[in-house]
Structure 1
């Protein structure tokens, strides 16, 4: 999370994790194979956490969606960095270097986008959200908007992009008129 995938050599990774080289190669044929497995595990965990948040979180679906975005903004304001998001950390770094890792990141992002689409559709059905068009298209816009805002916040070390993105999310997923 701090040095990136290419910034940390395999020897240093194994030393830090206290894993013998032979044991590593028993499970992974290469550092790239390890990276794919790492991304697979990361996205599976992320998907599970979001599923729980969207289905059992506080408030209605609109509240839960906004809380999802607000959490990242709050975390950034408190820590001053984007932390814990492998997508933000690794997208630009590995997508041109490893086709297998790029494909795994894309697969994980598609699953998260599908989960967002389901939450949007459930919110529309529930009556807590109003938006034009298809939930899948809006989910892609929201994911892209938020990923871009995270990258800008990472570059500028300023919350402005996240605050602006959250304001746009609020207008895109309005509460229905009474």
Structure 2
């Protein structure tokens, strides 16, 4: 039944006409629902409240019937993931780290990364809202990777604490040499560009350096407890000094395409900490 409230010609003030396939009723807001009296026409007034209730009931039934019915051709169960969901994201992160550790943030366009990764632009914007969002994800991924590398070295029980640090330095030198010293530290690279970067990157970069510094501090504290470092040293200050100097050494090694800056800094640091 289709319900169409409207004003009819000659209708009573405040009344609403209800059109149905068979008949019309005049509805007055102040009318009460009651069965027609003997001799009265069935065209008597019906309360608007009752009609509105009927409309709500019909709408509800229509809504329930449409939601209960299965969509043709649609499989039940979990919704299908977008094509290349995790694979595409991982490839974008991997390629982004390669490009940004070598060239920085400002010099790299999103389209370059998409071409190198073989990922369509639609997939990029499925995973990331913007280049800024992508850059933040890269900083987070790099911090996670680098923190894991530090833990791997600093937790080696077969080495003394300072030898663990030496091992990390040697491994980092080999990593730079593998790429002909074209790639540096992502955090150090972006730190050099900070004036041109989104403001939110500052806290992400500082947080990454703080994480690495705390891990190094724990290693140096253990070295002090084992007598490798003098008691007059403060492990937290030494850790801060190490990362300030190490980031500068990595930048210089990339500039000169040589391991010498890394080795010179390492030699100076261990001379400082020795008894």
Partners of 1:129 and 1:173 within 8 A in 2? yes
Q: Aligned residues, how many? A: 175
1:18 deviates by 2.3
In structure 1, runs of 5+ residues without a counterpart are: none
1:39 aligns with 2:103: no
Question: Structure 2 vs 1, CA of residues 52 and 72 (structure 1 numbering), >3 Å: closer, same or farther?
Answer: closer
CA distance in 1, matches of 2:179, 2:116: 24
Which residue of 2 is the match for residue 145 of structure 1?
245
Higher share in helix: 1
In structure 2, runs of 5+ residues without a counterpart are: 1-100
1:72 deviates by 2.7
Identify which of structures 1 and 2 has the higher relative contact order when contacts are C-alpha pairs closer than 8 Å and 6+ apart.
Answer: 1
1:145 deviates by 0.9
Which residue of 1 is the match for residue 162 of structure 2?
62
Larger Cα-atom Rg:
2
Which residue of 2 is the match for residue 102 of structure 1?
202
In the superposition, the TM-score normalised over structure 2's length comes to 0.57
Residue of 7, 17, 20 corresponding to 2:120: 20
Aligned alpha-carbon RMSD (Å) = 2.2
Larger CA deviation: 5-14 vs 106-115: 5-14
Q: Deviations over 1:19-71 (max 9, x none)?
A: 22222222211101111011101101110121121012641101111222233
CA distance in 2, matches of 1:160, 1:126: 30
CA distance in 2, matches of 1:156, 1:84: 12
Q: Deviations over 1:75-127 (max 9, x none)?
A: 44565415362123332124542222222111101100111111111121233
CA distance in 2, matches of 1:55, 1:91: 28
Larger CA deviation: 57-66 vs 30-39: 57-66
